[in-house]
Amino acid sequence: MVRKACSLAPNVFSAQCPTRQALDLIADKWTTLLIYLLSRGRQRYGELHRQVGGISQKMLTQTLRKLERDGLVTRHVYPEVPPRTEYELTPLGHTLIEPMRALCDWAGTHLGELEHARKRYDHAQKKPALSA
């Protein structure tokens, strides 16, 4: 049985442990961005799509459905013409705001160091041109 892999304690390193699935969910880049955006409050689908650069409508829909299935997001559908759909974090989703905010803040704070390290690495990986 799958749960035996973590019967003593959760083990994110075990492929059979459900905690690994939870970590995989929140480690997804689209999940991180959507949780961070929804931490600002309820938002319409179109607003989310406009704010998350590079996400396709298909990927946004899939990610929101996954978050809804896992109890992190609630979807509100209003019977209007045209239909209006809004998303917001559930109480469980709200528990991810601080960790996601910390990750986003870390990325902004350390961007310069990352870029410098990449340039240094790329420069070191260049092979010297052979002389004729």
From CA 68, how far away is CA 85, in angstroms rounded? 13
Mean pLDDT across 10-29: 84
Mean pLDDT to the nearest integer, 108-121:
94
Annotated domain spans of the chain: 2-125
Give the total residue count for the chain: 132
Would you give the DSSP letter of residue 54? T
In the sheet with 73-78, reading across from the earlier edge strand, the strands are 43-44, 84-89, 73-78
Share of the chain above pLDDT 90, in %: 61
Identify whether 10 is preceded by a cis peptide bond (ω within 30 of 0).
no
CATH 1.10.10.10 fits 2-125, yes or no: yes
User: pLDDT (tens digit, 9 = 90+) per residue, 83-101?
Assistant: 889 999 999 999 999 998 8
Three-state DSSP state, 34: helix
Tell me the pLDDT tens digit for each residue of 40-60: 999 999 999 999 999 999 999
Question: What is the CA 107 to chain-centroid distance, rounded?
Answer: 13
**Average pLDDT rounded to a whole number, residues 7-21:** 79
